[in-house]
Structure 1
Amino acid sequence: MFTSLFSGDTTINFISVALILIVIVSAIQGIIRGASGSAKHLLHMVFGILITIVAIYLAWQTATLVSAPVRNWLSSLAIQIPAQEMPVWKQTYYTAVTAIRDFELFRFGVLFLLAYLIIRQALYWFVDPVLLRWAQSRWDREASPSVISAATGGLIGSVTGVWRALLVVAVLFVFVTLFPQAKPAGYIQASSLYQKGAQEVIQPFTGDFLQKQVPVFTRAVEQEFSQILQRKYEVLDANIPNNISAAAQEVTKAGKTDEEKAELLYKWVGSRVEYDWNKVELYEQQRIWKEQTPEDTFATRKGVCIDYSRLYAVMARSVGLDVKVVTGLGYDGRGGYGPHAWNEVYLADSKQWIPLDSTWFSSGGNWFNPSNFNQTHIREA
């Protein structure tokens, strides 16, 4: 077994080291506890796993059952984000409540977590005393384990250690499945002990479910998380300063339709705001992100794509347009894509959402609902 510690001839694989140490430490604990103590511990661990499985199943059913009623109840409250400055706790409240109301996966996740914590604790309150009395009636406490008892305890502890190691392998297997291109994934897969546990135990148990379903679920979660981030901006920017509102009214006074107003604002934001390369450099070189509000962007006339988009959204809302801040990837002109933000605005006359990118206005070309917009912009949600 110890030859599995090595990847090649000389390199120690610490995943294998960790798995072996888990078994060794568990065996030592078993020797110290003795046969009865190890048996009690193993029994408690097995029942803990069973309780977790039951709690997960019941929480899943509970969340499925109450998700729709909770959505309907929150919708009936007609929660409106106040158009005023709010403290952080209030911003968090409106973001969370409206996200639970509007985003199905997020709502299910919150309900599942709450149900799981309550059900699991309730099961422990009921099972623990019963299990403890049952175990004590069968195994007396040993003041000093005999040699045979210690050896038996060590054997039981080794079984416990193998089970713990398999749980670690299962967690690593999920990580490798979700992030196969990540650097740690290659190192994990280089462990022969991991490969043995994954291929001979985890893989046959899960089949191809994780490979097929988990990545799909993960993408759906990422998309919904992106929408929740957009909701955060809606909450943060619900308050429209008077000077920005007045500017938007002035800019759009010649516009007769929603499309004309939206395009006038697109040209104004795109031509008045200068791209802040210093902000980009600060983040890329020092990982310092300078957060700014639409009012900051309006005052300084500087910002990056998210700042252009948030300012546009605030100005558009102030003249009655329905608008979104969209995040995703934008073409970098060198054959690749990078993080980017832009807007979508709803045209009531034609009953459609159209995209626009005020950040790219100064780069040339028309980025107000062009036919090739989706060729250069990939939205996350």
Structure 2
Amino acid sequence: MSVNLVSLVLVCTVLASVVQGAFRGASGSAQRFVQFAAEGASTVVGVVAAWKLAEALSPALESWLIAKQIAIPNEEIGFFKQMYYTFVTAVRDFPLLRFGTVFVVAYSLCRVTLYRLGMAVAAATGLWSRPSGPGSGRKSWMSSGIGGAIGSLIGVGRALLIIACLFVYTALFPESPFAKYVQASGLYMQGATQVIEPVGGDLLEKRLPVFAEAVGQEFQHILQRKYEVIDARVPDDIAEAAKQIAAGKEDDEAKARALYQWVGTRVQYDWDKVELYETKRIWKEQTPEDTFATRKGVCIDYSRLYAVMARTVGLDVKVVTGLGYDGRGGYGPHAWNEVYLAERGEWVPLDSTWVSSGGNWFDPPGFDKTHIRDA
């Protein structure tokens, strides 16, 4: 008969707490229980307070950052400045990241403040005093028994915390093998159905997956912002070429198509770069300026060069990463672009890397069947 490891971990958590309680004795365990209760209460209250603060302060933070008029400099900047501009502009522009940032800061401050306040009250009322030494002196059987009983309460609390974490995982990934293994544990199911579900099951099971999906989508936008920051400086020769290519084009679509055709036909796919990475795991990083000068690159290089040239002529464009169809029944890592066409009022996809392979890859029907963006 196989033992479910989730059940084993829960049982061991409770037993370990019982042993700790017996070792500490009645007095030490009681004080540890007060400390554990203060930690739990400060965590719960801290989460609620931080959530309310984040709801109230997030709009104010957005307004303040907009008023600061932070612009990505059109010059070459170092790594730490890249990180700074990526984070600050992402906090300004992406609501979930902004809410999460305020929440983490507020929670950290609230939890520490509430815990210290709770322990100060416990100390003032005589419920808790600083231990003189761990395990000092012999404990009577009665003291050890009471300590063990108190330890069991702490153990149950710790086990419920583990169950809550597992409950969140199973809500996010209900079809995963590990989620099914977790749900095969009788102890887990007992704690989840009798405690966790009544308290927050609806929130965790129905709203958390939707929230997590939204976070994942926003994370991809943050990764795209990284390329916007890195490639903010546009060399004069690239800017001049982009303007010449778009000259005489009356609308956004005409400009976007002209640049798509130019990048796709002027840049050659760098198979040597691919082989270097596949055989030696050496990635040759290059800037849009490198791609423009050498006329060689891989999909991410095509996409970054297209984005830089498109922005130069006033187009709003994104670098998109994900998977592309390999023509052999599978998919591999790939990058392409999306450009906003004002006259159509929508974002359209394009893949300048695939121009040389033939066909139309500027917003063709079924683009999403050959391109799967990261989610």
TM-score, normalised by the number of residues in structure 2: 0.88
Look up the match of 2:292. 298
Corresponding position of 1:96: 87
Q: CA deviation at 1:206?
A: 2.9
Q: CA deviation at 1:288?
A: 5.9
In structure 2, the gaps of 5 or more residues are none
Secondary structure in 1 matching 2:334:
strand
Moved more, 290-299 or 329-338: 329-338
2:350 is matched with 356
Does 1:229 find its partner at 2:220? no
1:319 paired residue number:
313
The reply on whether 1:205 has 2:185 as its aligned counterpart is no
1:21/1:165 Cα in 2 relative to 1: closer, same or farther (>3 Å)?
Answer: same
CA distance in 2, matches of 1:307, 1:30: 61
Residue 146 (structure 1) shift: 1.0
Aligned pairs for 1:100-115 (under 5 A) are: 100-115=91-106
Give 1:65's match in structure 2, choosing from 26, 31, 56.
Answer: 56
Structure 2 residue aligned with 1:178, among 165, 169, 172? Answer: 172
What displacement does 1:282 show?
A: 6.1
Aligned with residue 259 of structure 2, among 261, 265, 268: 265
What is the match of residue 84 of structure 1? 75
The CA distance in 1 between the partners of 2:177 and 2:117, in whole Å, is 44
Q: Displacement of 1:374 after TM fit?
A: 4.2
Residues 210-229 of structure 1 deviation map (CA, whole Å, 9 limit, x = unaligned) = 22111101110001111111
Name the counterpart of 2:108: 117
How far apart are 1:253 and its partner, in Å?
4.2
Distance 1:324 1:137, change over 3 A: closer
- What SS is found at the alignment partner of 2:260? helix
Cα distance in structure 1, aligned partners of 2:102 and 2:148: 42
Could you say which residue in structure 1 is the equivalent of 2:21?
30
Letter in 2 for 1:303: G
Report if the CA contact (8 A) 2:322-2:373 is conserved. Answer: yes
Partner residue of 2:31 out of 33, 40, 49: 40
Q: Partner letter of residue 314 of structure 1?
A: V
The answer on whether the counterparts of 1:40 and 1:135 sit within 8 Å (CA) in structure 2 is no
Residue equivalent to 1:247: 241
Deviations 1:312-359 (A, max 9, x none): 001222233332223344444456655433222234555544322112
Alpha-carbon distance change, 350 to 88 in structure 1, aligned in 2, over 3 angstroms: same
Asked if 1 retains the 8 angstrom alpha-carbon contact of 2:123 and 2:129, the reply is no
1:77–1:194 distance in 2 versus 1, CA, 3 Å: same
3-state SS of paired residue (2:337): strand
**Which residue identity lines up with residue 41 of structure 2 in the other structure?**
L
Aligned pair count?
372
2:337 alignment counterpart: 343
Preserved contact between residue 36 and residue 140 of structure 1 (Cα < 8 Å):
no
Instruction: Provide the C-alpha distance between the structure 1 equivalents of 2:7 and 2:50, rounded to a whole number of angstroms.
Output: 35
Displacement after TM superposition at 1:93 (Å): 1.1
1:183 offset after TM fit, Å? 4.1
Contact in 2 for aligned 1:330/1:339 (Cα 8 Å): yes
Residue aligning to 2:6: 15
- Give the partner amino acid of 2:189: Q
Shift of 1:45: 0.9
Which residue matches 1:55? 46
Q: Is the 8 A contact 1:36 1:139 kept in 2?
A: no
Deviation per residue, 1:46-80 (Å, 9 max, x gap): 12211111111111111111111111111112211
1:132 aligned partner: 123
Q: For structure 1, list consecutive stretches of 5 or more residues without a partner in the other structure.
A: 1-8
Q: CA offset at residue 290 of structure 1?
A: 4.5
* Cα gap change, 1:297 to 1:185, in 2 (>3 Å): farther
Among the aligned pairs, what percent are the same residue?
A: 56
Which residue does 2:364 correspond to in 1? 370
1:196 counterpart = 2:187: no
Query: Using the alignment, how far apart are the partners of 1:249 and 1:140 within structure 2?
Result: 74
